A = this chain, B = another copy of it.
Amino acid sequence: MVIVMAVDATAGNVEAVVDRVTAAGGEAFVSRGVSRTVIGLVGEVDRFEALNLGGMPGVRSVTRISAKYKLVSLEHHPERSTVHVRGVPIGPDSVTLIAGPCAVETPEQTLEAARMAQAAGATLLRGGAFKPRTSPYAFQGLGELGLRILADVRAETGLPVVTEVVAAHDVEMVARYADMLQIGTRNMQNFGLLQAVGEAGKPVLLKRGMSATIEEWLMAAEYIAQRGNLDIVLCERGIRTFETATRNTLDISAVPVVQRLSHLPVMIDPSHSGGRRDLVLPLSRAAVAVGADGVLVDVHPHPEEARCDGPQALVADDLRVLQRSLLDLASVLGRKGPAQWSPRRLAG
């Protein structure tokens, strides 16, 4: 930690800081400049945090140097991690495609979407049974019925299921059906929910909050990790900016930035970033090229009838182009691309 004293800080102010630090078992190094004094702290940073040094007279700023997150940091675990969801890897060796309908509506629609996804190389099925919606008058998802449909479709197709959970008290129930628990953008700082999924024994897909900094996102992951679960995959889905041409602004730089700070895999959701079908393909290509460990896309057999986010869902033709692109790009970048369809997979 580095403490910068105010211009008019007195010698007594400096001494008081040094005393509080040393009383807490730390060491304080004072550097007196022409106009200001700077104090460098060495010791247990967390203990210093508790001292509220920023509130002491004469202190202008307190800067923490080491990262606030530990378990998810690259310093803690210098190799990039691979998370396995019922055997399906998400990590540095492959480009994983997760696809499915935004919302589970009917068994037929879900199965059809799953088959479309699978034909395009998706190895994980996404689908929402609990939908956080801005309006109380909008379709809120089928709840447990939706989860049952997803489980049936998994039995039929072999695709493990990724689905969102929105409340701590639902985690146990959702975890009985799902293979991976998704935390949505609006819940990235629902700390009780993060702790609950941290204890649920299932991999977690943690979407970035729409106005969360990368540091806050990694802190949210740390909440999960701290409860003993390091099977966390991060997912960038666009942030909120002044630009209105897209639903959100995809912060593609977040992928390499995260990869320099954390060992966790990181994916991109081009469907929610852009909010427009015609942007999904170019943004998916960009995602793979920038080094993301996969993409998460909305598909729907009949988007014009979708009860949620129809305008951004891909249809069958789009998916074939997407698959081709991802395979080509992954190969250029030395990674395994999305699965290529084979009848045998379906049997498994």
Interface residues of A (CB under 8 A from B): 2, 4, 7, 29, 31-36, 38, 40-43, 46, 49-50, 52, 54-57, 63, 65-66, 68-69, 75, 132-138, 140, 166-169, 186-187, 189-193, 195, 210-211, 213-216, 219, 222-223, 226, 239-246, 249-257, 260, 273-274, 278-279, 282-283, 285-291, 303-307, 310-311, 328-329, 332-333
**Chain B residue at minimal CB-CB distance from A223:** B136
For A61, the closest partner residue in chain B by CB is B65
Contact residues in B for A42 (Cβ distance below 8 Å)? 31-34
Q: Does the CB pair A249–B256 fall under 8 Å?
A: no
User: Which B residues touch A2, using CB under 8 A?
Assistant: 2, 4, 38, 63
- A273→B54 CA distance, assembly (Å): 18
List chain B residues, Cβ under 8 A from A286.
Answer: 252, 286-287, 289-290
- B-side contacts of A49, CB under 8 Å: 137-138
* Cβ B245 vs Cβ A289 within 8 A: no
Closest 7 CB pairs of A and B: A211-B211, A289-B289, A31-B40, A29-B31, A55-B304, A286-B290, A285-B289
Closest residue of chain B to A36 (Cβ to Cβ) is: B65
Residues of B within 8 A of A69 (CB): 135
A7-B75, A135-B68, A290-B286 known; A52+B305 contact, CB < 8 A: yes
Besides A31-B40, A46-B137, A211-B242, 6 new A-B residue pairs in contact (Cβ under 8 A), listed by A number: A134-B216, A167-B168, A240-B242, A241-B249, A245-B253, A288-B289
Per the bound structure, the CA–CA distance linking A250 and B40 in Å amounts to: 33
- B289, A136: Cβ atoms closer than 8 Å: no
Q: Give the distance to chain B from A323, nearest Cβ to Cβ, in Å.
A: 14
Would you call A219 and B289 a contact (CB within 8 A)?
Answer: no
* Bound form: Cα–Cα A169–B332 in Å: 48
Say whether, besides A2-B4, A134-B216, A251 and B256 are in contact (CB < 8 Å).
no
Chain B residues with Cβ under 8 A from A41's Cβ? 33
Point out which of A213, A260, A286 has the most chain B C-beta atoms below 10 A from its C-beta: A286
- Bound complex: CA A223 to CA B140 (Å): 12
Q: Is there an interface contact between B329 and A135, defined as CB atoms closer than 8 Å?
A: no
Q: Is the CB of B282 within 8 A of A136?
A: no
